[in-house]
Structure 1
Amino acid sequence: MATKVYSSYEEIDRDLEILKLQKEIDTQKLSLAVEKTIDGVTPSGLVQNLLGNAGSFLTKSGLLKNVVLPYIINKFIK
């Protein structure tokens, strides 16, 4: 990385403010990631992830429309 040459204290202050804000953003992102991870490993979080992944698989693969729904409809008709 090239060394930056500053011509005024205002430029230095501006860059320091930008770095401070970037640090705050990164801290918030890290905090959110930790919170999501903790929520994901709780029993309720694991169940939600499992159900969400299973539902996503069923809808994306067409399995829900082609296999599951006709099976359920046939059970109600009989």
Structure 2
Amino acid sequence: MRTKKYSSYAQIDRELEILKIERELSLQKLHFEIQDVKENLEPKNIVRGIIGSYTPIILGPYGKIIGLVIPFIKNWIFKKRGR
């Protein structure tokens, strides 16, 4: 990195103020990223993410087959419990 040469204290102060603002922005960005990670690790969001990854399969060509098979499986389970 090149060293900067300043001709006045005002330039130094301005550069320090810019660096301070950049640091605050970086800290805020880090804070928001940590919050996003915490939210993504909540159980409801993990389940939602898993379901979301299978949505194309469910809505795709297998969706109709699954939609037809689920009621039969459900009825079979309830009949077995009734015995």
**TM-score scaled to structure 2, two decimals?**
0.65
Structural RMSD (CA)? 2.3
1:32 aligns with 2:37: no
- Output one character per residue of 1:11-58: Cα deviation in whole Å (capped at 9) or x when no partner: 111111111111111101111111111111111121122233333xx1
Identify the residue that residue 3 of structure 2 maps to in structure 1: 3
Unmatched 5+ stretches in structure 1:
none
SS in structure 1 at match of 2:27: helix
Q: Return the offset for 1:68.
A: 4.2
Q: 1:53 to 1:22 in 2, by over 3 A?
A: farther
- Max Rg structure: 2
Identify the residue that residue 20 of structure 1 maps to in structure 2: 20
Size of the aligned set, in residue pairs, is: 67
Q: Return the offset for 1:8.
A: 1.0
Unmatched 5+ stretches in structure 2:
69-83
CA distance in 2, matches of 1:35, 1:20: 23
SS in structure 1 at match of 2:38: helix
Identify the residue that residue 54 of structure 1 maps to in structure 2: 54
Q: 1:13 to 1:53 in 2, by over 3 A?
A: farther
Q: Return the offset for 1:64.
A: 3.5
